[in-house]
């Protein structure tokens, strides 16, 4: 079964054995936390913005990337998770997988896995068993998770505790350079970038930031910027497959 690691640096909360896409738990948390928010106007504005736009995450990412651009470059890029050979990844040393949710597994704000990805996700779960979690920034929304941090902020400490192994043998899979990939690279994961599959439901500002991220990273790559070193990189490159074959 999945575990839904709501965010790191937040005491490693998770709902072992429960379906992460069940809205029940989220609604319960939301109801419990409703009304706790501060009266300060900035908290309210920030909460409203956070629901649609990870402003703090972008600021954090820009700060990190300004020091080392390589952190925004994924080790591997694929159209979507169907291109990943999960069994081969396991045979070559990977011990677990951390997924982003929106536009990696589900349409934005949806709780259901995008249908074409269901089979690949099931394969991943059958290969890695309980060592598959979802680490979603929407869990860092104030109404769900007061004080939680969002990618790329935070460390991998709670994730490593959960898996019982170092992040160097874990894969971070996500669709955003400045959140998922920066978080994964700066914490020692092998990083896999997927293409988003539903831009229509994304807020305008998120689409613009996504375009900017992609354009910047492509430009850096063309100028010779390459991903950070990773001990599993050469092995993992052999784990990309064409799902049509």
User: How far apart are CB 100 and Mg ion at their closest, in Å?
Assistant: 4
Looking at beta carbons only, is 85 or 175 nearer to Mg ion?
175
Is 102 a binding residue for Mg ion by CB under 5 A? The answer is yes
90 neighbors 127 (Cβ within 8 angstroms): yes
Residues 6+ apart with CB under 8 A from 199: 103, 207, 210
Is 213 a binding residue for Mg ion by CB under 5 A? The answer is no
* Per-residue tokens: 170: 């874990």
Site map (CB under 5 A) of Mg ion, residues 145-184, x = contact:
------------------------------x---------
Looking at beta carbons only, is 31 or 118 nearer to Mg ion?
118
Looking at beta carbons only, is 62 or 165 nearer to Mg ion?
62
Cα–Cα distance for residue pair 116/139, rounded to 1 Å: 24
Is 100 a binding residue for Mg ion by CB under 5 A? The answer is yes
Is 103 a binding residue for Mg ion by CB under 5 A? The answer is yes
Phi and psi at residue 36, to the nearest 5°: -80, -25
Please compute Rg for the chain using Cα positions.
Answer: 17
* Per-residue tokens: 35: 């009304």
Nearest residue by C-beta to Mg ion?
A: 102
Binding site for Mg ion (CB under 5 A): 100, 102-103, 175
């Amino acid at each position: 079964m999945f575990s839904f690691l709501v965010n790191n640096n937040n005491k490693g909360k998770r709902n072992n054995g429960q379906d992460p896409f069940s809205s029940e738990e989220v609604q319960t948390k939301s109801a419990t936390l409703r009304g706790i928010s501060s009266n300060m106007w900035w908290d309210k504005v920030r909460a409203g913005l956070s629901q649609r736009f990870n402003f703090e995450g972008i600021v954090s990412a820009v700060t990190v990337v300004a020091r080392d651009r390589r952190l925004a470059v994924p080790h591997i890029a694929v159209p979507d998770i169907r291109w990943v050979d999960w069994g081969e990844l396991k045979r070559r040393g990977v011990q677990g997988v951390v997924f982003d949710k929106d536009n990696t597994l589900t349409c934005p704000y949806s709780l259901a896995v995008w249908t074409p990805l269901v089979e690949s996700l099931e394969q991943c779960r059958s290969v890695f068993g309980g060592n598959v979690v979802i680490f979603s920034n929407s869990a860092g929304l104030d109404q769900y998770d007061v004080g939680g941090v969002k990618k790329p902020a935070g460390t991998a400490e709670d994730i490593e505790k959960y898996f019982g192994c170092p992040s160097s043998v874990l894969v971070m899979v996500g669709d955003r350079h400045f959140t998922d990939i920066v978080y994964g690279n700066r914490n020692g994961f092998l990083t896999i970038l997927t293409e988003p599959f539903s831009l229509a439901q994304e807020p305008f500002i998120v689409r613009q930031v996504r375009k900017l991220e992609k354009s910047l990273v492509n430009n850096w790559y063309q100028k010779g910027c390459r991903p950070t070193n990773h001990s599993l990189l050469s092995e993992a490159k052999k784990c990309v497959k064409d799902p049509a074959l």
